[in-house]
Structure 1
Amino acid sequence: MAISGLRLLLFLLLRSFASLPVHAAARGGSNSSGTDEKYGSFLRNLLEDMPRISEELTHGYMSNLELEIAVRAIGGRCPNISRIYSIGKSVNGFALLVIEISDKPGQKEAEPSFKFIGNVHGDEPVGREVLINLANWLCDNYLKDPLATHIVENMHIHILPTMNPDGFALRRRGNANNVDLNRDFPDQFFPINDEINYRQPETRAIMKWVKQEHFTASASLHGVIILSIALLKDYPSYSKQYYGCPDDKTFRYMALVYSQSHYNMSLSKEFKGGITNGAFWYPIYGGMQDWNYIHGGCFELTLEISDAKWPKAAELPVIWEHNRMSMLNLAASLVKTGVHGRIYASDTGHPIPGLLMIKGIDSEIRASRTYGDYHRMLAPGESYEVIASMEGFRPKATRIVLEEEAVSLDFILDLDGGNGQVKMLRNDNYGCSCDDDKVFHIQEAHLELYLLVLFILLALYLLFKRRTASKFTTRHSQKRPTAV
């Protein structure tokens, strides 16, 4: 109860900051006044970060209704390799439709799954158009093009063209509540986003989706500058430094697969090879990319695929062609490299949802409950010790040398003689407590430290406000309400 009360007070404090006359840093940067550095990282509600998009500029882009028609048309045209489903609705009730492409859409298989997400920011609509082109290309070229056939028959592709249809309709970065959805996910350092009541419906939909599906990797499409971005994990997100996560080599490998398949991304003069570490470029909190990796076991890249947020529609075919092979090769890398296999129980022969770890890398993934299959992305050209474990069983380890092709490796775990019974996991959610009625918690020691700092800030803020107000109330005896 005490913790809940402290969390409520914490949110009231942070919301009071949001009412201050501060312009939030839309992309995690800072302005010349220095106010963004002081307050911007605490704010998810953003002001307009660019001039109003003109009607002329929107010509040639699909409206939300036209996008839905295009999505459903793909399902009608290629019903044998596609499935259309919704993961939820936006604030204004627009369905978040997904196109699943596979030779067995809708069925669970011992195959890796990849998701593409577009239009995270409402004023970056290029991803919507590119992802519709990707779905149409796979639909048209299955059994005609070897790469299309390889992808469709060996994995499941899930395509969400728009995560933020309301922001697109409003022609602004945030959603209908003016919240930047890429700052709205639970953060490993700051508990502000842990409260489910303050999380946006689009964010909840993504979290629930990741929990239900067994995604191995992911990419979100943005637009501003031609480069692809790796991510940080488990490091402070507020200083502009290179922070490599435990899987830094793997993320760099994946980013280079995309960059080197692109028309000109790898030629970038600003970023070597066309890629950069997320924290080094600009730090953020509450990002979708980090949450996918930490809580979903999903390797996600952020892809910046155009040199303008809202380019003219005439440029869209060129942008699609420049990114087509990059998107296909990135998706195909799930089955072309890494280590893949299944985990079984020796006593029954049944698959079990065990944990898979790589020695020396502080990151683990869980095999699926249905088939006990796992798919672990790893950078090729290295030797790895792979460890499979599960409660009630004795762990097993083996060493592999990963070259350019994927390695298949199954594990059969023996019962731990010290346990009479095997305690199975409650659900296959990668240790992610992201049910709608639950919140993410950080360690109590960290929470107490944050709360102490914020209480001090609150006291200073109230003291300053009281002294300032006293200058204007010396002549008035009436009491006035104060909002804190």
Structure 2
Amino acid sequence: MTAAVSLIWLGLLPLLVQSLDFTYHNSSQLEAILKDFNSRYPAITYLYSIGKSVEGRDLWVFVVGKYPTKHTVGIPEFKYVANMHGNEAVGREILLHLIEYLLTNYQSNATVTQLVTNTRIHLLPSMNPDGFAASSPNDCDSVNGRFNKNGYDLNRNFPDAFEENKDPVQPETQAVMGWIKSETFVLSANFHGGAMVASYSYDNSYTVPPDNDVLMYLAQKYSENNLQMYSSNSCPGFSGFTNGITNGAVWYKVKGGMQDYNYIYNQCVEITLEVSCCKYPDPSTLQGFWNDNKVSVIEYIKQVHMGIKGQVLDMNGKPILNAIVDIQGRSRMCPYKTNKNGEYYFLLRPGTYTFKVTVSNKSMEKTLTIPQSSNLSAMTYNFQFTEQTTIPATTSGLCSQATQDSNRSSTLQVDLVMFFFNVLVLYNTL
């Protein structure tokens, strides 16, 4: 038996393939890399396109997980999105190296093996491939390539709960919206460049979100594992980020952002990661950026297992779709609803919480204490009704118009208060 045949028989040949180089990869190269990884690791990977860009480039999503092709009850869905601003290119390469790291360490590294086994990880390296094609390295500050081919900023293109967004929905945005609706994503982050900070919701309101403690914790978890980000003074002109995190609106308000859209309308917590002072730095810096973010990207994925998960079941033990699960003191703008498997996932810090589960004509309350998560598995609790329940009707669209109008009104009041407060502070400093 030859050495090569022996290696194939042992399943070790993929480890001998040359490592991914630290350079920028165009769309054709990116596609080839993803297809190669998929062919070499078919048991734990899945590659699919969620749609096409204006110029017809595929928006490829690479999945890593023990059950990569479909959702499995009890296994949370996680996602990373990069390059939605085409000229912010570092995140695109970080995700490619993350894929390689997960695949080559599966079954040899205990943490990675457990993470891949217990999580379905979706990675979209480029949401704006047309913008990337129109941009170039060593461009730190311009907007060349930022927008999609139609000239729209994709991070201003999503439905907004706080004010009406009249911009036409772009193909890339539509593809991501459909993707989000097709999965039960629990946790997400999107990569940007031009600063070094982890930013959390809300992006378009000064009001405090119901999960503010969780959002701050998640941003802090990423930042504290990235020394450059945590130092808060890595970029010229940015010195106001304590411990490398910020609330989005406090930094600057964004209408139509993807972060708020995920959190408000889709039950998926998302933060924004600004990972490079220069938007499109020289390729010689890429290995340093990977080293800076390597621990953070893994630690952040782990957080999808914090809190509690489970199912809502009827008296016969069958899952209930569209059951509303509320937590006392954490009323969301859009009520949390179970998926077709009756599942719910809540990212929560350790503590005691009172849950209220409502199914059309019935409701129940239960107080539960959530411990510190361990072994990459959230606490599991199933809510089961003991009486006959009426299955809720399937709802369509986003939150009700009444909910949005009420929220815009309260947001306007808060924003006016903040405006006059800021004017007062400015006046006192002149």
- TM-score, structure 2 as length reference: 0.80
Q: In structure 2, what residue type is equivalent to 1:403?
A: Q
Paired residue total = 365
> What is the deviation of 1:404?
4.9
For 2:339, give the aligned amino acid.
S
The question of 1:342 aligning with 2:301 is answered no
Deviation by residue 1:377-428 (Cα, 9 ceiling, x = unmatched) = 0123x32212222224332322324435442221112336xxxx613342xx
Match of residue 186, structure 2, among 206, 210, 216: 216
Match of 2:212 among 248, 263, 281: 248
Q: 1:279/1:432 Cα in 2 relative to 1: closer, same or farther (>3 Å)?
A: farther
Q: Does 1:412 align with 2:412?
A: no
CA distance in 1 between counterparts of 2:121 and 2:370 reads 28
Q: Structure 1 residue 98 and structure 2 residue 69: aligned? A: no
**SS of equivalent residue, structure 1 residue 189:** coil
CA drift of 1:65 comes to 0.9
Q: Which amino acid aligns with 2:319?
A: P
1:444 Cα deviation after fit? 9.7
Measured after TM superposition, the shift of residue 272 of structure 1 is 1.2
Corresponding residue of 2:93: 129
Give the C-alpha shift of residue 71 in structure 1: 1.3
- Residue identity in the other structure for 2:33: A
Of 286, 309, 320, the residue aligned with 1:352 is: 320
Q: Is the 8 A contact 2:359 2:391 kept in 1?
A: no
How far residue 60 of structure 1 moved from its aligned partner, in angstroms, is 3.4
2:404, 2:367 → 1: CA distance?
A: 37
- 1:89 partner letter: K
Question: Which runs of no fewer than 5 residues in structure 2 stay unpaired?
Answer: 1-21, 136-144, 234-238, 410-430
Which of 383, 387, 395 matches 2:356? 387
CA contact (8 A) 1:352 1:367 kept: yes
Structure 2 residue aligned with 1:174? 147
Is residue 2:285 matched to residue 1:321? no
Partner letter of residue 32 of structure 2? I
> What secondary structure does 1:394 align onto?
strand
- The 1:70/1:265 distance shift into structure 2, 3 A limit, reads same
Task: Provide the residue aligned with 1:107 in structure 2.
Answer: 70
Question: What is the DSSP-based 3-state SS (H/G/I as helix, E as strand, rest coil) of the residue aligned with 1:83?
Answer: strand
Aligned to 1:37: none
- The alpha-carbon distance between structure 1 residues 176 and 445, as it changes in their structure 2 partners (threshold 3 A), is closer
Q: Does 1:61 align with 2:24?
A: yes
Kindly indicate whether residue 401 of structure 2 is the aligned counterpart of residue 442 of structure 1: yes
The residue that corresponds to 1:422 in the other structure is 390
Distance 2:312 2:38 in 1: 34
Counterparts of 2:267 and 2:211, CA distance in 1: 11
Partner-residue secondary structure (3-state), 2:70: coil
Offset, 1:441? 6.6
Q: Is the CA contact (8 Å cut-off) linking 1:296 and 1:432 kept in structure 2?
A: no
Whole-angstrom CA distance in 2 between matches of 1:144 and 1:74: 17
Separation in 1, partners of 2:373, 2:403: 44
What secondary structure, in the 3-state scheme, does the structure 2 residue paired with 1:268 have? Answer: coil
Bigger Rg over Cα: 1
Query: How far is the alpha carbon of 1:329 from its aligned partner?
Result: 0.8
Q: Tell me if 1:229 matches 2:199.
A: yes
Query: Could you tell me which residue of structure 2 aligns to residue 74 of structure 1?
Result: 37
User: 1:89 maps to what in 2?
Assistant: 52
What CA distance in whole angstroms lies between the structure 2 residues aligned with 1:422 and 1:65?
51
255, 261, 269: which one aligns with 2:225: 261
SS in 2 for 1:208: helix
* Structure 1 Cα separation of the partners of residues 51 and 248 of structure 2: 28
Q: Distance in 2 between matches of 1:130 and 1:395?
A: 45
- Letter aligned with residue 365 of structure 1: Y
The residue type equivalent to 2:402 in the other structure is Q
- Give the C-alpha shift of residue 104 in structure 1: 0.9
Distance 2:177 2:363 in 1: 32
Whether contact under 8 Å (2:307, 2:370) holds in the other structure is no
- The whole-number CA distance in structure 2 between the counterparts of 1:390 and 1:441 is 18
Note the C-alpha offset of 1:292.
Answer: 0.5
Q: Identity of aligned pairs, percent?
A: 35
Change (3 A) 1:446 1:123: same
- Aligned letter for 2:158? F
State the alpha-carbon separation in 2 of the partners of residues 129 and 344 from structure 1.
Answer: 43
Distance 2:301 2:290 in 1: 16
Q: C-alpha distance in 2, partners of 1:340/1:192?
A: 33
Contact 2:127 2:172 survives alignment (8 Å) = yes
Deviations 1:136-183 (A, max 9, x none): 111111111112111111010000000000111112100001100000
State the SS of the aligned residue for 1:173: coil
For residue 246 of structure 1, report the CA deviation from its aligned partner. 1.2
Instruction: Give every structure 1 segment of 4 or more consecutive aligned residues whose post-TM-superposition deviation is greater than 6 Å.
Output: none
Conservation of the 8 A alpha-carbon contact between 2:82 and 2:92 = yes
Determine the structure 2 residue equivalent to 1:366.
337
Q: Which of the residues 88, 91, 115 maps onto 1:151?
A: 115
Q: Which amino acid aligns with 1:379?
A: R
What's the counterpart of residue 184 of structure 1? 157
Q: C-alpha offsets along residues 308-359 of structure 1, whole Å, 9 cap, x if unaligned? A: 1011101111101111111111111112x2111222111x211223222211
Gapped regions of structure 1 (runs ≥ 5): 1-58, 435-439, 451-484
- Residues 359, 390 of structure 2: 8 Å contact kept: no
Deviations 1:197-250 (A, max 9, x none): x210111111111111010010000111111111117xx64xxxx542111101
Q: Which amino acid aligns with 1:398?
A: T
Q: CA deviation at 1:103?
A: 0.6
Aligned mates of 2:45, 2:299 — CA distance in 1: 20
**Matched residues in 2 for 1:359 and 1:368: separation?**
21
The question of whether the paired residues in 1 share the 8 Å contact of 2:161 and 2:404 is answered with no
CA contact (8 A) 1:191 1:442 kept: no
* One-letter amino acid of the structure 1 residue matched with residue 314 of structure 2: A
